[in-house]
Structure 1
Amino acid sequence: MKRDRVATAEPRGSSSSSAAATASPPSSSSAMVVPRCQVEGCNVALVDAKDYHRRHKVCEIHSKAPKVVVLGIEQRFCQQCSRFHVISEFDDSKRSCRRRLAGHNERRRKSSAESVIRNPSPLGTSPHYPYRT
């Protein structure tokens, strides 16, 4: 029966061996897999979600939740890393892990120090130093 299907798909004048060689089964990449939130118990299909949420496989609700269960472990989604970390890697209710926050704060301190070096204000003209000594 499969032979009949191949035979009807052949253009005229071609041999069945060449048609069989060029015919390929549907690839798995052509099958549409619906991305879903990876949080346990959440079956939200991310078809209509923002590209960011589809890419990281997390729905908007769980990307901002203080605590979720992923792979049986209580975790939180880090806004800086775009991945889940165990709760102990976060300070209080922050949404960025300590490691990424430390890097962010370091860059801020560095750029702040560089701007002071480039644009030093004379003593007494800064609002932080209103009195001359």
Structure 2
Amino acid sequence: MEGRRVERKKTLFERVRKNSTVDEEVENEGEEEDESGVNITEEEKKIGVSSGGGRRGSSGGGGGVSPPSCQAERCGADLTDAKRYHRRHKVCEFHSKAPVVVVAGLRQRFCQQCSRFHDLAEFDESKRSCRRRLAGHNERRRKTNPEAANEGNSKGQHPKETTHCRLADERGRIQMNLTGSSEYKSFNIR
């Protein structure tokens, strides 16, 4: 009786093995191997699935991207061969310097500081930078060292005697007198 059991198990095992090999053959009919030896089905080939042999993260098509062109109305300037600045801001060289440009139906001018088009009302006369940016520029210029401003004075006036900074000697060194103890002092120069 035990011998029959063993025979049944063997025949059952062989049948299962045969069925699984038949199933594998049916499954492998629509597959091909890629460069790395991994099987790929027809559907996966259409989708572009690969085991890593191909490029990842790159799209195959252009996606309908048009070449860069100027924002100004009725200007079809192709910016593909233009300077990087003009491509980035989508403005041709002519319209970046023009006093009046029609963009989106509005009369505007290209601001050199902002790299954007603004309404003409935001500019002073024929300036190429908007008032807001010019104000910031002028403010920074006024913050400079008062001695440097006086040196360039055409009247030839000397700096006031009450200034705390002294002129440099012939070697370019500035003499400083420290009051208080002679211990080490740290300070910040701004």
Partner SS for 1:15: strand
Q: What does residue range 4-43 of structure 1 map to in structure 2 within 5 Å?
A: 11=34, 14-16=39-41, 18-19=44-45, 20=47, 22=49, 26-28=60-62, 33-43=66-76
Q: Which residue of 2 aligns with 1:105?
A: 138
Partner SS for 1:22: coil
Q: Aligned partners of 1:100, 1:115: CA distance in 2, in Å? A: 23
Partner SS for 2:108: strand
Counterpart residue identity of residue 62, structure 1: H
Q: Aligned partners of 1:51, 1:28: CA distance in 2, in Å? A: 21
Q: Which residue of 1 aligns with 2:165?
A: none
Q: 1:74 to 1:8 in 2, by over 3 A?
A: farther
How far off its partner does 1:128 sit? 2.0
Q: 1:8 to 1:50 in 2, by over 3 A?
A: farther
Contact 2:96 2:110 in 1 (8 A): yes
Q: Aligned partners of 1:90, 1:26: CA distance in 2, in Å? A: 46
TM-score of the superposition, structure 1-length normalised?
A: 0.72
Q: Aligned partners of 2:138, 2:65: CA distance in 1, in Å? A: 42
TM-score of the superposition, structure 2-length normalised?
A: 0.52
Query: In structure 2, which of residues 103, 110, 131 is the aligned counterpart of residue 70 of structure 1?
Result: 103
How far off its partner does 1:14 sit? 1.0
- Identity, in percent, stands at 52
In the TM superposition, structure 1's runs of 4+ consecutive aligned residues that sit over 6 Å from their partners are 118-121
- Which blocks of at least 5 consecutive residues in structure 2 are unaligned? 1-29, 51-57, 159-190
Q: Which residue of 1 aligns with 2:117?
A: 84
- Which blocks of at least 5 consecutive residues in structure 1 are unaligned? 1-6
Q: Which residue of 2 aligns with 1:57?
A: 90
Structure with larger RCO (C-alpha < 8 A, sep 6+): 1
Q: 1:18 to 1:86 in 2, by over 3 A?
A: same
Q: Aligned partners of 1:80, 1:34: CA distance in 2, in Å? A: 25
How far off its partner does 1:22 sit? 1.4
Q: Aligned partners of 2:44, 2:135: CA distance in 1, in Å? A: 62
Structure with higher Rg: it is 2
Partner SS for 1:107: helix
Let me know the Cα RMSD of the aligned residues: 3.2
